[in-house]
Amino acid sequence: MDGISVYLSGNWSRSAWSTQDDYSGSLGVSIPFTLGGIRHYSSNTVGYSRYSGTSFNTSTSATLSDRLNYSVTAGTDGKNNSSAGASASYAFDRIQTGMAVSQSRDTTTLSGNLSGSAITTAQTGLLLTKESSDTVAVLRIKDTPGVTFNGSLPTNSSGNTVVYLTGYNPTTISINPENVPDGAELLNTSWEVVPTERAIIYREFGFQNVQRYILRVRDAQGNMLTGGSAVTEQGLDAGFITRNGVLLMNLLAAPQKITISQSNGTQCSFAAAGLKADVRSVQETRCE
């Protein structure tokens, strides 16, 4: 109900070694709230059992980032048994770590854990990853670090990362375009997979490095050109000039010379060696 969850549970059991039946029940509510722009969840439960009487438990948890989450708990029951605890886990690129501490009466317990996997494919060699699922996809965008897929950790310096899958469940593995460098033009953005149980699937996302230029082209007198097609010195199509004189060029290699052909049959050219690629601002140039 608008993000709020209410749940009710009950249990009854009869044992051959006991003359009395055992029963328990609980009522709980989970309420989300936002703190510092991060979604947190607060859960509160009241329960009753024949052995412990009435009990109260509360907890708060949140996923602070793709790598870090935490949880804190506290509780008490009708026999004055109180407890409190806290846990946190952090995902490094190659290993998942966790730590927890709990206090109950006179006992303090501290625990920790490490988990992860070593995966080998012919294309990537040995990978150490935090994912410990037995069904995974090894994903690669060559030599491009910091790219994520389906909520995975960012790719390493070689462009590799791992995402967990569910066996026999159709899954679309999609790249997050916000992490892709501006100069990269993706050849594919997603893969459809149906993994078998305990499969290791390898998929590569191809791209081309593109030189991007935003130019405002003027003629020899300083007037903006209002149309015309542009080609490089190799005869490759470089784009069209819009009505406001802007020419957008996406090229695989830096050009040396651009020639403009207008509808009235006139031509002009300008040297492109001094232009800067992947600059977001408009660069002025004259076509003579």
Q: Domain with 220 in it: what CATH number? A: 2.60.40.2070
What's the Cα-to-Cα distance from 101 to each of 116, 127, 149, 256, 266, rounded to whole Å?
22, 31, 33, 65, 79
Clarify whether residues 66 and 48 are in a common domain: yes
pLDDT for 253: 86
Domain count, the chain: 3
Clarify whether residues 205 and 219 are in a common domain: no
Query: Of 113-122, 217-226, 276-285, which one has max mean pLDDT?
Result: 113-122
Domain edge (last residue) among 91, 117, 150: 91
By the 10 Å C-beta count (0-12 exposed, 13-18 middle, 19+ buried), 152 is classed as buried
> Does the structure show a pLDDT above 90 at 93?
no
Residue 125 lies in a domain: no
Residue-wise pLDDT tens digits, 134-159: 999 999 999 999 999 998 999 999 99
Domain edge (last residue) among 163, 181, 209: 209
Instruction: Give the 3-state secondary structure of residue 177.
Output: helix
Structure-derived torsion over alpha carbons of residues 139, 143, 147, 153, reported in degrees to the nearest 10: 60
Both structure tokens of 238? 């470089």
Domain edge (last residue) among 209, 226, 259: 209
In terms of pLDDT, which residue wins out, 21 or 91? 91
CB of 76 within 8 A of CB of 56?
yes
Q: What is the DSSP string of 62-124?
A: EE-SSSEEEEEEEEEETT--EEEEEEEEEE-SS-EEEEEEEEETTEEEEEEEEE-EEEEETTT
Residue 113 lies in a domain: no
> Residue 185's pLDDT band (boundaries 50, 70, 90)?
confident
Both structure tokens of 100? 């927890």
pLDDT for 211: 86
Clarify whether residues 186 and 176 are in a common domain: yes
- Residue 252: which domain range? 211-286
Residue-wise pLDDT tens digits, 256-279: 999 999 888 889 999 988 888 877
Clarify whether residues 238 and 275 are in a common domain: yes
Clarify whether residues 87 and 64 are in a common domain: yes
pLDDT for 241: 92
Residue 118 lies in a domain: no
CB contact set of 181 (below 8 Å; sequence gap of 6+): 144
Which CATH number does the domain housing residue 172 bear?
2.60.40.2610
